[in-house]
Structures are given as C-alpha cells and as structure tokens.
C-alpha cells in the first residue's frame, strides 16, 4: 500500500505556508485548511463562502463516512477565512477553479498544488492526504494525546492513529536502530 507522509519538520511546514501566502492566497488557504482541520481534501474542496464566513465552527457531512461532523475553527483559520471571503458572494466556492463559472478545484489540481510546492522544499511522498496527516502528526507531537487525536481523525483504535501519522514506524525504526546483538 502506497501511503503519503506528513510534513514532520515544523520549520519546513511554516516555510511552505509563507511561500504559498506570498504566491497564491487560495492555495495558501487550501494548505492551512487541511493542516488546521484534519479534514480530508474531499471535504475541503466543496466548501462555499457561506460555510466558513464569520463562523466559529464548521459543520459538514463527511464524504467518506457520511457522518455529520462539527469542527472548531482555530483563530488562524477564522481570520484567514474572514479576510479571504469578505468580498465574495455566499454561494461561491472557497477554492474556486479558474475553469467554469463557479466550480471548485478538483482533487487532481489540489494534489498538483500540494505536491509541486512540497517538492520545491525537498519533500517527497506527498499527496493531498499529507495535510490531514500533518495535522495528526503535530497534534500528537504537541500533546501526546492519542485518544483525542483518535477521536478527531475518526479512527477505531490508538494503534490505527499512530500508524496513520507515522509515529508507529518512527518508534519501530528507533528501536531497531538502537538494538544490537
């Protein structure tokens, strides 16, 4: 199974954010929405201005599980959405495509944006799911609270969560590296 990695290096994560903010506000907002909500790209792309403008929380029906999910938007995202959406009509897609009248960018375009940007910063094994995994990785690094992270990500077990964010493999690698006979 070919899986993508989170962005583990915090400084590199911030450098990518700064680069995207300078070069494309839409792409920057896409990136920080993923890294600050742990939503899947399939749940981010269809967001409309009315879903996020002046909101403290985001309530959406998740595409994969079809469950209704409410997310607390952090201060950074609330400010970013407020500024980005201020002059846009409520029915416009937040991540609007240049193709068509009012379409959102497609998953393939989101992949290209994320992958090409991360390659510029020396990161590979990156995809749209990298944003969600990056949230999980840094949440765990900061809090070590696997139970809450498991709930945020909707996983069935703590082990599933640790494997998902790459911490299980890091632990295995560290153990193997320090073990000698």
Helix (H) or strand (E) holding 71: strand 68-72
Residue 67 class from Cβ within 10 Å (0-12 exposed, 13-18 middle, 19+ buried)? exposed
pLDDT in tens, 140-151: 999 999 999 999
pLDDT at 66: 83
> Distance between CA 141 and CA 132 in Å, rounded?
14
> Distance between CA 127 and CA 111 in Å, rounded?
6
Q: How many CA atoms lie within 13 A of 137 on its CB side?
A: 23
pLDDT at 146: 96
> Distance between CA 42 and CA 28 in Å, rounded?
17
CB neighbourhood size of 170 (10 A): 13
Q: Is 179 strand, coil or helix? A: coil
> Distance between CA 48 and CA 88 in Å, rounded?
10
Annotated catalytic sites, by residue?
40, 64, 129, 132, 155, 164
pLDDT in tens, 61-119: 888 888 898 999 999 999 999 999 999 999 999 999 998 888 999 999 999 999 999 99
Which domains are assigned to the chain? Answer: 10-178 (1.10.443.10)
Q: Is the dihedral of CA 28, 32, 35, 37 positive or negative?
A: negative
> Distance between CA 35 and CA 100 in Å, rounded?
28
pLDDT at 179: 67
Looking up tokens 């944006």 gives 113
Averaged pLDDT, 162-180: 75
């Amino acid at each position: 199974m070919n899986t993508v990695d989170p962005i583990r290096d915090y400084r590199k994560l911030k450098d990518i954010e700064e680069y995207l903010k300078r070069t494309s506000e839409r792409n920057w907002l896409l990136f920080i929405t993923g890294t600050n909500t742990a939503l899947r790209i399939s749940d981010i792309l269809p967001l409309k201005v009315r879903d996020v403008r002046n909101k403290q929380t985001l309530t959406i029906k998740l595409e994969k599980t079809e469950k209704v999910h409410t997310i607390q938007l952090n201060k950074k995202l609330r400010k970013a959405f407020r500024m980005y959406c201020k002059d846009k009509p409520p029915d416009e897609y937040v991540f609007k495509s240049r193709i068509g009248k009012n379409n959102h960018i497609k998953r393939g375009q989101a992949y290209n944006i994320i992958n090409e940007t991360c390659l510029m910063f020396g990161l590979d094994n990156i995809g749209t799911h990298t944003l969600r995994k990056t949230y999980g990785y840094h949440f765990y690094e900061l809090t070590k609270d696997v139970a809450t992270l498991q709930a945020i990500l909707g996983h069935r077990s703590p082990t599933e969560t640790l494997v998902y964010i790459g911490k299980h493999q890091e632990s295995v690698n560290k153990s193997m590296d320090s073990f000698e006979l």
